[in-house]
């Protein structure tokens, strides 16, 4: 029997048995190692050579045929070198392990390996078997000190040149070279790829600046520079770096210094691998794939500057009480939002402060022009209905850019304009409105009692105005029904509307409708509304302006005394401004249209209608002449437009020379009429006649280009002549009413003289310029509809159309 099956009742024997088992098991493993390790050496060496080639990137630069042959040779040699040693190697038995322990422990009489011997004689004899067991126990007890030496390998004999150390050092060095790519390189080395795949590794990289910068995405150079610093690219802060790798057989490695927040790595995409990085600071980015660097850049970040905003003049009220806020703002990429914050000044008394109890800072959003990088504008806002009216306040302007950065202007201290009411009942309503605004416990009851008292005796005090009486009773029952702050605010609003109606009648409603129409058109221009919507809003503005002017005219005072320096304007002047706004918006000059509309708002805010006195006979003659010249200039511009179109088309239809002669004759009648009144015609009108004659001659000879030049000169001379005539009119103070005989429009422009400045910043184009712009737009839209054109051309046309 074996020692593993040997039983003994002796504790000492059991302990020795267990100790011997452990040593024999270890000895058996030692023998396995000593016999197997030398047999694996050649194969392990071939595998080590493969690891060195794969980790060092040799296979990525090796042709596929040579790669495949190398794999076959290495793994074939490894298989062959394993076959013979493994087939001739015998696995150690228990006896071999026991003998190994006996030899290492220097045990005599083989006490472990002989434990499986059988008694030769006396089997079945109880005495003989007892003696045999006693003999086995004695042998086991003699093996008290067991030892097992370290494994002894015969590998040095099989590798006398110590090539195993060379392979080991090479593998370690290759792992260091591969770095984090060791795993994909080992896997990729097992699959030979065609050389074209190696060369087809492509990196596409581009930078996409934030949308608010207005900059287009652009590709960056991905050619390896061979320099550690890489190429340098200047980009706005917050730009996105997008990288796409095609043709790589494993995930590329992305390195960013300084390290960015979060995990940055390539992710699998439909076309290969893709990564996205937000550039917030100066960074060094590199991309490696298949053992080589395929992209290396240094990015210099342009920080987003803070916006700036400031008043250009002290806020001041207009004639109708609206507060004028003139300011300028700037930002490197454009101001996204501007607002005015109005708070009570620190020196306001407690009594006034309690009148606006519950009202926080008043925040008013300000409109922005189309060009928001750097601009100067003015807006009017009516605060007379706010509880702050009549109190000293601090106004600060706040500008916000698209990145969320803000800037605040220095405060301006002033007293908000307060509406002064002269109608007795209107003044009483405003007083009770202030009582409600105080928030005192008995404020509602006090106002209710006063309103009730004001409606006593309707047959006496409201005999001819039952409409007002009914409104007062409605206000009384509204105050009786107050339950919360919302009801109080509604009652205050009703009281304000009643007071305004009593003070001004229908003018207030017309003015409010006009302001609403102006704001709607301003918002549409700012947000790029389509032409159909702009046309509809322009029509509403015309209707609102007409009603407003009618309301003002009903209250106009004859022979009023306007302030010195005021300018005369008429309804036709306003209509010309509206036409110019519509034409500018249709031709894509939305920023100019916004500025012109803002100028119109400012004019209407300071408009005052009067009936001016009759002009002198000489002034009337000059006025008629200027009016005739204005019409003549309009007809000459139309002729110039027709000449231009026929010149561009190359087809002269005729009739132009006759029309030019008729205009020249009309100019002669105007100068003759001045002479009959004893007035001298300016020399410019004579020069204009000569230019018209040259134009007629060129038209008859078919020289359209020369005719255009002469017609333009004629227009210039007519304009200068009209200005000279206007200066001869006897100056009369306060010509700010609606009058047909006007010399200048409200913006200081000679009436009917297109092409001059509409205000200080807006250049109104001539009719010929507008016509050419419309024709260009139509041609662009026509070509955009032809989808068979090259893609590059269609993209370019789309970019042009987006500007309009």
CATH code for the domain of 339: 2.60.40.10
583 domain-assigned? yes
C-alpha separations of 140 from 19, 20, 416, 502, 739 in Å: 11, 9, 115, 129, 139
273 domain-assigned? yes
194 domain-assigned? no
Query: Residue 258: is the preceding peptide bond cis (ω within 30°)?
Result: yes
193 domain-assigned? no
Same domain, 511 and 454: no
Same domain, 250 and 352: no
186 domain-assigned? no
Same domain, 258 and 284: yes
Last residue of a domain, one of 415, 436, 460: 415
15 domain-assigned? yes
Please give the span between the terminal C-alpha atoms of the chain, in angstroms, as a whole number: 106
Domain span at residue 778 reads 766-804
Same domain, 784 and 646: no
pLDDT tens for residues 185-237?
A: 887 778 776 554 444 678 889 999 988 887 888 888 766 443 334 457 899 99
Query: In 64-194, which residue ranges form alpha helices assigned H by DSSP?
Result: 64-88, 94-105, 126-142, 155-158, 163-178, 182-188
- Angle at which helix 656-676 crosses helix 617-649, to 10 degrees, equals 170
pTM of the predicted protein model: 0.46
Same domain, 62 and 104: yes
pLDDT tens for residues 604-617?
A: 766 655 544 455 66
pLDDT-derived band at 308, boundaries 50, 70, 90 = very high
In whole numbers, what is the pLDDT of the chain averaged over residues?
75
Same domain, 511 and 623: no
The CA-based angle 519-525-526, given to 5 degrees, is: 85
Same domain, 461 and 578: no
Same domain, 294 and 346: no
Same domain, 27 and 113: yes
Lowest mean pLDDT among 278-282, 318-322, 327-331: 318-322
- Classify the C-alpha dihedral 732-736-741-742 as positive or negative: positive
Same domain, 218 and 357: no
Lowest mean pLDDT among 89-93, 352-356, 495-499, 577-581: 352-356
Last residue of a domain, one of 707, 731, 755: 731
Same domain, 291 and 405: no
Question: What is the number of structural domains in the chain?
Answer: 7
CA torsion 513→514→517→521, rounded to 10°?
-170
Per-position DSSP letters for 260-288, written without gaps between them? PSS----EEETTEEEEEEEE-S-EEEEEE
190 domain-assigned? no
681 domain-assigned? yes
Same domain, 238 and 345: no
Q: Who wins on pLDDT, 758 or 439?
A: 439
- Own/partner contacts of 572-580, CB < 8 Å, gap of 24 or more, are 572/740, 573/742, 573/745, 573/746, 573/751, 574/545, 574/549, 574/600, 575/542, 576/745, 576/752, 577/745, 577/747, 577/758, 578/538, 578/541, 578/542, 578/545, 580/758, 580/764
pLDDT tens for residues 440-489?
A: 788 889 888 988 888 887 877 777 777 888 888 898 898 888 888 888 88
- Own/partner contacts of 533-539, CB < 8 Å, gap of 24 or more, are 534/582, 534/585, 534/586, 535/582, 538/578, 538/581, 538/582
Distance CA 794, CA 788 (A): 9
Lowest mean pLDDT among 327-341, 398-412, 705-719: 705-719
CA 712 to chain CA mean position, Å: 44
Last residue of a domain, one of 443, 474, 504: 504
Lowest mean pLDDT among 288-302, 730-744, 789-803: 730-744
């Amino acid at each position: 029997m074996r020692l593993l099956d040997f039983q003994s009742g002796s504790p000492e024997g059991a302990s020795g048995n267990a100790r011997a088992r452990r040593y024999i098991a270890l000895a058996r493993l030692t023998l396995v190692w000593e016999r197997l390790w030398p047999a694996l050496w050649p194969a392990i060496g071939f595998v080590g050579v493969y690891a060195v080639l794969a980790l060092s990137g040799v296979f990525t630069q090796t042709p596929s045929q040579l790669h495949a042959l190398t794999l076959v040779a290495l793994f074939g040699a490894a298989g062959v070198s394993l076959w013979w040693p493994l087939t001739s190697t015998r696995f150690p038995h228990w006896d071999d392990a026991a003998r190994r322990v006996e030899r290492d422990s220097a045990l005599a009489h083989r006490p472990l390996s002989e434990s499986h011997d059988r008694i030769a004689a006396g089997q079945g004899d109880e005495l003989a078997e007892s003696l045999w067991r006693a003999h086995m126990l004695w042998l086991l007890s003699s093996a008290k000190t067991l030892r097992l030496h370290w494994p002894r390998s015969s590998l040095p004999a099989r590798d006398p040149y110590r090539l195993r150390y060379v392979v080991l050092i090479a593998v370690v060095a290759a792992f260091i070279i591969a770095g984090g790519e060791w795993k994909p390189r080992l896997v990729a080395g097992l699959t030979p790829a065609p050389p074209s795949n190696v060369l087809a590794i492509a990196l596409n990289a581009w930078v996409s600046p934030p949308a608010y910068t207005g900059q287009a995405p652009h590709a960056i150079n991905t050619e390896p520079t061979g320099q550690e610093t890489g190429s340098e690219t200047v980009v706005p802060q917050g730009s996105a770096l997008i990288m796409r790798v095609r043709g790589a057989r494993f995930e590329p490695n992305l390195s960013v210094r300084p390290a960015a927040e979060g995990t940055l790595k390539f992710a699998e995409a439909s076309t290969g691998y893709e990564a996205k990085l937000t550039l917030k600071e100066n960074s060094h980015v590199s991309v490696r794939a298949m053992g080589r660097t395929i992209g290396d850049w240094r990015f210099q970040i342009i920080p987003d500057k803070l916006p700036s905003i400031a008043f250009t003049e002290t806020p001041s009220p207009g004639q109708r009480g609206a507060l004028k806020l003139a300011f300028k703002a700037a930002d490197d990429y454009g101001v996204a939002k501007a607002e005015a914050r109005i708070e009570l000044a620190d020196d306001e008394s407690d009594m006034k402060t309690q009148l606006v109890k519950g009202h926080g800072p008043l925040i008013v959003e300000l409109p922005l022009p189309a060009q928001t990088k750097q601009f100067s504008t003015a807006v009017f806002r009516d605060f007379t209905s706010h509880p702050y009216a009549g109190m000293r306040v601090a106004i600060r302007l706040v500008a916000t850019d698209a990145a969320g950065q803000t800037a605040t202007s220095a405060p301006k201290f002033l007293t908000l304009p307060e509406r002064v009411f002269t109608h007795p009942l209107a003044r009483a309503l405003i007083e009770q409105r202030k009582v409600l605004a105080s928030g005192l416990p008995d404020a509602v009851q006090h106002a209710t009692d006063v309103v009730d008292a004001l409606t006593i005796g309707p047959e006496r005090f409201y005999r001819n105005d039952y409409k007002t009486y009914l409104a007062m009773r409605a206000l009384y029952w509204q105050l009786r029904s107050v339950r919360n702050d919302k009801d109080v605010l509604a009652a205050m609003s009703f009281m304000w509307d009643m007071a305004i109606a009593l003070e001004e009648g229908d003018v207030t409603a017309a003015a409010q409708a006009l302001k609403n129409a102006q704001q709607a058109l301003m918002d549409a221009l700012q947000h790029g509304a389509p032409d159909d919507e702009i046309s509809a809003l322009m029509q509403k503005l015309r209707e609102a302006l007409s009603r407003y002017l009618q309301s003002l005219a009903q209250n106009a005072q004859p022979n009023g005394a306007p302030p010195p320096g005021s300018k005369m304007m008429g309804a036709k002047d306003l209509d010309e401004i509206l036409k110019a706004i519509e034409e500018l918006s249709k031709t894509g000059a939305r920023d100019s249209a916004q500025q012109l509309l803002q100028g119109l708002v400012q004019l209407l805010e300071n408009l005052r209608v009067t009936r001016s006195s009759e002009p002198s006979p000489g002034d009337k003659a000059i006025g008629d002449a200027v009016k005739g010249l204005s019409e003549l200039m309009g007809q000459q511009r139309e002729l110039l437009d027709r000449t231009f179109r026929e010149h561009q088309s190359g087809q002269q239809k005729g009739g132009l020379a006759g029309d030019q002669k008729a205009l020249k004759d009309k100019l002669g009648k105007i100068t003759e009429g001045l002479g009959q009144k004893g007035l001298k015609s300016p020399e410019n009108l004579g020069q204009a006649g000569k230019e018209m004659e040259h134009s007629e001659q060129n038209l008859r000879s078919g020289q359209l280009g020369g005719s255009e030049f002469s017609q333009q000169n004629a227009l210039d001379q007519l304009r200068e002549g009209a200005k000279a005539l206007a200066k001869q009119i006897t100056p009369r103070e306060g010509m700010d009413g609606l009058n047909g005989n006007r010399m200048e429009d409200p913006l200081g422009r000679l009436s009917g003289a297109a092409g001059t400045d509409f205000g200080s910043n807006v250049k109104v184009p001539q009719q010929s310029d507008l016509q050419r712009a419309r024709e260009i737009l139509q041609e662009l839209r026509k070509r955009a509809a032809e989808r068979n054109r090259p893609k590059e051309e269609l993209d370019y046309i789309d970019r042009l159309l987006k500007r309009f």
